[in-house]
Amino acid sequence: MPYVTADDGAQIHYLDWDGGGSPVLLSHGWPLNADAWEAAALFLSHHGHRVIAHDRRGHGRSSRTWGGNEMDTYADDLACLLDTLDLEGVALVGHSTGGGEVAHYLARHGGARVAKLVLVSAVPPLMVQGDDNPHGVPIDVFDGIRAGVEHDRSQLYRDLADGPFFGNNRNGDVSQGIRDAFWLQSMAAGAHNAYECVAAFSATDFRPDLAKIAVPTLVIHGDDDQIVPFDVSGRLSAEQISGATLLIYEGGAHGLPDTEPARLHRDILAFIES
């Protein structure tokens, strides 16, 4: 399996579907890995794009480092991957935590290699509630996730898959296979890494990052996202990124790559080829 080596020696695993055309980098959500994007990767590569998807450190097949489970290091790992593969004119696509990762990469490393940005159900600008973010998600929610990781992460991941992640508690139409895949990928993340990543996706303030984004950006968000609420994230990101285009999926849940793959694939392809 291919890896790149980060500055601290961590091995970052990636998958490469080389459809021969312009590159697309897919960044996954918590606590998943590159396999979460496999349907999109197949679609985009079959439509002539080279598609790269990596396992964030601590997730999937990448190194389970004790440190570095925060956005600065995630962005640096992404820079290592893009630089090692020498990708130019890449479209960055990030789902959930991955949306924070790609936005932070742009702010921290610049956009010389980047042509476009797509944020899907993404965590920016800032999830956790605070004095300057009164409409955010209360810290108790994230403390509860951390407690679940500590005490019974297997059941936590089952509960997320069977309930709010895919909106399965609303209509119950997400297949058992999709839910099982979520659990399997989640269990492949290190417990310590998954625990620390909760702070990375919930408490990182991406507002300064969004102000620096100068590439064409598409924000896609479901208005029934129970994990990363639309009014906390997608709506505000679209307002704070200069010139961003916003697509709202009516009734859309958080796990759009699995709940609405056909529509999502078409929308991403149309944007990156426009």
Structure letter (DSSP) for residue 28? -
Catalytic residue among 54, 104, 254, 265: 254
Q: How far is CA 105 from the centre of its chain?
A: 13
For residue 24, the surrounding DSSP H or E stretch is strand 23-27
Report which residue type is found at 232: V
Residue 254 annotated in active site: yes
Give the whole-angstrom CA distance, residue 196 versus residue 209. 21
Hey, how many other C-beta atoms are within 10 angstroms of the C-beta on 96? 28
pLDDT value for 56: 98
Q: Is the pLDDT of residue 171 over 90?
A: no
Confidence band of 201 (pLDDT split at 50, 70, 90): very high
Integer CA distances (angstroms), 52 to 20, 60, 127, 212, in order:
12, 15, 27, 24
Give the burial string for 115-132 (b: 16+ CB within 10 Å, else e).
bbbbbbbbbbbbbbbeee
Indicate the fold that domain 3-272 takes in CATH: Rossmann fold (3.40.50)
Amino acid identity, residue 108? Answer: R
pTM of the model: 0.98
Task: Report the C-alpha gap between 97 and 200 in whole angstroms.
Answer: 8
Convert the pLDDT of each residue in 112-137 to its tens digit: 999 999 999 999 999 999 999 999 99
Catalytic residue among 76, 225, 258, 267: 225
Q: Compute the average pLDDT of residues 165-181.
A: 94
The three-state secondary structure class of 266 is helix
Q: Do the beta carbons of residue 57 and residue 6 sit within 8 Å?
A: yes
So what's the pLDDT on residue 231? 98
Of 96, 121, 202, 233, which is the active-site residue?
96
Is 45 known to be catalytic?
Answer: no
Per-residue pLDDT band for 207 (boundaries 50, 70, 90) equals: very high
Q: What is the pLDDT of residue 1?
A: 78
Per-residue confidence (pLDDT) for residue 241, from 0 to 100: 98
- Residue 111 — φ and ψ, nearest 5°? -110, 20
- Is the pLDDT score of 141 beyond 90? yes
State yes or no: is 131 an active-site residue.
no
Structure tokens at 232: 């906390």
Mean pLDDT within 105-114: 98
pLDDT above 90 (res 172) = no
**Residue 189 · residue 33 · CB < 8 Å:** yes
Provide φ and ψ at 217, rounded to 5°. -130, 135
Give tens-digit pLDDT for 54-93. 999 999 999 999 999 999 999 999 999 999 999 999 999 9
Q: Assign 205 a pLDDT band (cuts: 50, 70, 90).
A: very high
- d(C-alpha 267, C-alpha 168), whole Å: 23
Domain edges within the chain: 3-272
| H or E element that contains 265 | helix 261-272
Q: What is the pLDDT of residue 173?
A: 84
Question: 125 pairs with which residues across the strands?
Answer: none
Whole-number mean pLDDT of the chain? 98
The per-residue pLDDT for range 1-48, each reduced to its tens digit, is 799 999 999 999 999 999 999 999 999 999 999 999 999 999 999 999
DSSP 155-183: HHHHHHHHTTTTTHHHH--S-HHHHHHHH
CB 148 within 8 A of CB 155: yes
- State residue 45's pLDDT score: 98
Work out the percent of the chain whose per-residue pLDDT is above 90: 99
Q: Torsion over CA of 247, 244, 128 and 67, rounded to 10 degrees?
A: 110
